[in-house]
A = this chain, B = another copy of it.
Amino acid sequence: MNSYEKLSPDKDYVRVPKERLFSFVVRVLENIGVPEGDAEIVADNLVMADLRGVESHGVQRLKRYVKGIKSGGVNVHPRIRILREGPSYALVDGDEGLGQVVGRFAMGLAIEKAERSGIGVVIARNSNHYGIAGYYSLMAAERDMIGISMTNSRPLVAPTGGVERFLGTNPISIAAPTHGRPFLLDMATSIVPIGKLEVYRRKGKPIPEGWAINERGEVTTNVREVFSGGALLPLGGLGELLGGHKGYGLSLMVDVLTGVLSGGTWSRHVGNTEEKGSEVDHFFMAINTGNFTPPEEFKSRMDAMISELKASKKHPHFKRIWVHGEKGFLTMETRLRLGIPIYAGVIRELNQIGEETGAGRLVEEGD
């Protein structure tokens, strides 16, 4: 059995079948006023994150979405409008809707435009947290297109030379079809996303050196110091020596292509989903490979590049060369068979949400 995931995860986790998790999320959202189709989009996005092993963007996010909907920060009946458009582009106003609903609409539009004109660029403003960036780029790859997805996000990262949380972790994702599993890069432009630190905090463990600074700008392994006034570091780390200015620049690139270009805002002013006017902005692009090269040839070239990569000489400390997205697909294959491991604390939280919203419990604790 070619299984990537360890088969006996931490005993603090409970495995939940995908379908049960999906229908639970749908029920919760429907019960607080989200239309069925929209609830299914959000559930699909959160469950995909958990399936792929990105638990920071999985169902543990539901709590914040519920809070945002209850506080009025998220509009469950958004009037998503196309403000401007041409054959290859559009500007969309998300009307403070759920980020996944806005994102799916906007990426769908980009794909439609790319189908007709070769290229589709759609920018959405006035949205909310949209989950994993790769969800949208994959939509394009499933249609034999190259998909690109980026979003700004609330400030957590210090720019090179600064100590304030100014930049978002502003992820960039690109997906491209192959004859096998798609190539899927989905990366925060910080060294790690904040979700990784939350995992260390929960476990009470020190974080690796180099990920973050405290409020005095010192690199720290103390995760509590980071949460109380510190900041994440951009890809490349502190200062310019190892390229910290590059991660910082990529983060700004995302802000330029999302908030600045859309008439929205930049990460420093982006709020939490729980708040009104969080003002998250997204960028989506679809490239119809067939307008440049026959799609079968494109995929064959992708296959060839990837197999050459994997056959190239290994580093003595590594057993294999991974290609982007591969670990996520293997994890998904395992989890579809065995269920998705959900942290006991998250189970408790979800059960509570289920009870509060009349959706029932996800699983009995100790199941």
Contacts and interface: CB of A to CB of B under 8 A. Distances in A.
A321 B234 CA distance: 14
A285 to B, nearest CB: 9
Contact of A312 (B162, B183, B256): B162
Contact of A246 (B187, B217, B241, B319): B187
Contacts of A321: 159-162
Contacts of A247: 235, 243
Contacts of A88: 87-89, 117-119
A19 interface: no
A293 B262 contact: yes
A318 B162 contact: yes
Given A185-B252, A236-B235, A166 B309 contact: yes
A260 B305 contact: yes
A146 interface: yes
Interface string A240-256: 01110111011011011
Contact of A174 (B236, B253, B259, B263): B253
A176 B260 contact: yes
B183 A256 contact: yes
Contact of A324 (B164, B239, B252, B257): B252
A146 B256 contact: yes
A300 to B, nearest CB: 10
Given A243-B192, A243-B235, A315-B217, A121 B123 contact: no
A317 B87 CA distance: 49
Contacts of A84: 291-292
A63 interface: no
Contacts of A123: 292
Contacts of A117: 86-89
A298 B265 CA distance: 11
Contacts of A319: 161
Contacts of A163: 313-316
Given A159-B309, A160-B318, A174-B257, 4 more contacts: A87-B117, A89-B291, A159-B321, A245-B324
